[in-house]
Structure 1
Amino acid sequence: MDPITRVVIRHEKTATGYSELIAKIDTSGELVLDGCDAGASVEDETGDWDYEYWITVPALFKDTILLHLIKDRFNSVHEMKTWLESLGIPCNFTSY
């Protein structure tokens, strides 16, 4: 597996619009959670066809987010190892 810098979290299409949410690392190394909703329902609510929104986290804090996400997601080394393997992400398990 090659490293990735972008993942689609949500991409939903309906007969009258769509909604998407993407997490990415931009060219400056910042983490961006970027969303867009578009269609008739958005236009009814906002008066515009689409609504774009995003959160940007400075590159300096990516590791902080990573550590908190690991804490919230995993209860054991084995859980994390299984998850990494399911995604094809290399890891080494060591014990003694």
Structure 2
Amino acid sequence: AYQKTNIRTEHVMNDVWFSEPVVIDFEPSGHRKVSSCFEAVECLDLRWPRRARDRAWRSASRVCRDALDGLRSPTEARKTLRKAAKAAGLLA
């Protein structure tokens, strides 16, 4: 019998997209194009190296989450993500 799964997708539907992607180099798995705030939060939470979880990382995490909630602009979110990636030496 067909079973309907209840997957929460509202966070993806309300994603906030960047004007252009930020390319982050996660060694050894390679480059990742981050095109939206949801992808940014995912990378910051799951792929960011522990050694680089500093003030810039915390700021990017906060601003990207705020952008998803409509409190900050996608431009601000992209800028703080880029800054965190640069500080961590991950900017491709």
Q: In which range does the TM-score fall when normalised by the shorter chain?
A: under 0.3
TM-score by length of 1: 0.21
**Higher alpha-carbon Rg:** 1
TM-score by length of 2: 0.22
Answer 1 or 2: which has greater strand percent: 1
